[in-house]
Amino acid sequence: MAILDVFLPAASGREPDDRLLQNLKDYTSISFALIWQRQAIFIAASLLTAFYFDAANAAVFYCTIVFCEIQDIVIARRVKRLEPHEHEAIRTNFIWIMLNTMLSSGAICLYAVSVALKQDTGGHFTPLFFLFAAALFAAMNNHQLVKVLTLRLAMYGISFLFIVCFDIWVTRPSLESELWLQFFTIVFVMYFLIDCSIVYLKLYRKNLAQLEALRQEHELTKAAYVAKTQFISTVSHELRTPLTSIKGSLDLINCGALGEVPEKMKTVVDIATKNSERLSNLIDDVLDVQKIEAGEMSYSFKILDVRDLVEDAVASNEGYAARYNVTLEYDPLGEAPLLIEGDEKRLMQVMSNMISNAAKFSHEGGTVTVGCRQQNGKIRIFVQDRGYGIPAGCEDKVFDRFSQVDSSDRRSVSGSGLGMNISKEIVDHHKGNIAYDSTLGEGTTFYVEFPEVLKFN
């Protein structure tokens, strides 16, 4: 238990363990990412000292380091699988990291000292440089765990001082000698390393604080999104029930089931019917947007013949086009099946949105052409009007939510501004593409393209 008291963080409880786990994951991920960089350094140091000093000692040193590196990999994999609730495992892995740090740092320090002892007094550039490189590497990459960093720097610092102090103790030089210069240089270097460590530690903690702030902001945003979604869902469903009753009553009046409608009331009833339909469509669009945002939009894919789809869409929307005194024209161009994989209901929704837009933005008495083609391995469905056209640079507005592009200064077109945005989401889910070509004053052609399915009997 004494070892636990020394190694474990002073604070206890769930929150400190959460922070410790984050530190462990950051430390081990960096350690794992730099494994080959460390290996290159250790191999170079071992070969260099083996050639100039003692090959046997170099081999023992490198084998010890490799053992520590394997331990680091094992610990990193364990830490990666840890969950915040595994408090005991978190603290156990922290202990293993500390023990492995002692072993690897001890091996580096002992080897540097052993090399220094084989040299003449004062000529210790190689072992001192090895210690400096190891300490600088720790200052730059071990700041995630303060106790690990402190342990490494303390061990390297002691080794630094032992090498130069041993020379001073053996030779007893005067203060003007190079050995004392070396001693004071080592002190300066140690100060430099500690300062570097503090700088990297502050940067790391600042980044952690920023990440925590972003996480909290994300949680608040998620909560706001859930509240908004629940509000929209509740309001939409609450509106649907009375609206269904209103529409049903208006339909009864319009069909004469309650008697002949007086002439003075027809206009008012007409307006009420159209507005109830607009409100119903708006509610449907809002609910679709909500489903898309929540990832709950359902699809039922099967092989479809685009010719049948387009023909049904034209027939279904003739009545809508007639309200604007617009004629729908079907242009099949051929009879061979054009097969795609899709959800018929959702694609009919896309077709209805494109056709209704074309009808609304056409000149009175105009014609809207709806057709399909096979080109370059894809199936294209297009809706062409001869209306007002769309100004250049309006692509984002066309497919954005709650926005409309009306290039005409003579009329205002009704609509929720959600239709084309929903259509784009549906087409994207089919791995297709939706776009348009337009010339101001001449008209617009909206089209969707889907991968062709080759079906063999």
Model's pTM, two decimal places? 0.53
pLDDT-wise least confident of 84-88, 195-199, 409-413: 409-413
Mean predicted confidence (pLDDT) in 63-85:
91
% of the chain surpassing 70 pLDDT? 92
**pLDDT above 90 as % of the chain:** 29
**Cβ neighbours of residue 253 under 8 Å, at least 6 residues apart?**
261, 269
Instruction: Identify the burial level of 444 via C-beta atoms within 10 angstroms of its C-beta, where 0-12 means exposed, 13-18 middle and 19 or more buried.
Output: buried
Asked whether the predicted pLDDT for residue 276 surpasses 90, the reply is: no
> Residue 59 — pLDDT band, cuts 50, 70, 90?
very high
Please state, rounded to an integer, the average pLDDT across all residues of the chain: 84
DSSP string for residues in 43-98: HHHHHHHHHHT-HHHHHHHHHHHHHHHHHHHHHHHHHHH--TT-HHHHHHHHHHHH
Helices (H), 118-177: 125-141, 146-171
Strand partners, 368: 328
- Rounded CA gap, 320 and 342, in Å? 25
- pLDDT score for 306: 92
Q: What is the pLDDT of residues 81-133, one digit of tens each?
A: 988 888 899 999 999 999 999 999 999 999 999 988 888 877 788 888 889 98
| pLDDT recorded at residue 451 | 92
- pLDDT, position 404: 64
pLDDT in the model for residue 455 = 64
Residue-wise pLDDT for 207-234, tens only, equals 888 988 898 898 888 888 777 777 777 7
Residue 313 near residue 348 (C-beta atoms within 8 A): yes
Q: What is the pLDDT of residue 253?
A: 78
Mean pLDDT of all residues in 277-297 = 75
Rounded to whole angstroms, the Cα distance separating 16 from 84 reads: 10
- Please give the structure tokens belonging to residue 267: 């206009």
The residues spanned by each domain of the chain are 2-172, 226-294, 302-451
* Collapsed DSSP state (helix, strand, coil) of residue 378: strand
CATH topology for 302-451 is Heat Shock Protein 90 (3.30.565)
What pLDDT does 74 receive? 92
Exposure pattern of 62-83 as b/e (b: 16+ CB <10 Å)? bebbeebbebbeebbeebeebe
pLDDT over threshold 60, residue 22: yes
Question: How far is residue 164's CA from residue 186's CA, in Å, rounded to a whole number?
Answer: 8
What does the pLDDT average to over 403-410?
A: 52
pLDDT at residue 7, as a whole number: 44
Q: Which residues contact 105 (CB under 8 A, 6 or more apart)?
A: 134, 151, 152, 155, 156
Does residue 142 surpass a pLDDT of 50? yes
Q: How many CB atoms lie within 10 A of CB 384?
A: 20
pLDDT over 80 (residue 40)? yes
Any residues with CB less than 8 A from the CB of 78 and at least 6 apart, and which? 89, 93
Residue type (1 letter), 203: L
pLDDT score at 3? 42
- Alpha-carbon distance of 456 to 20, in angstroms, equals 60
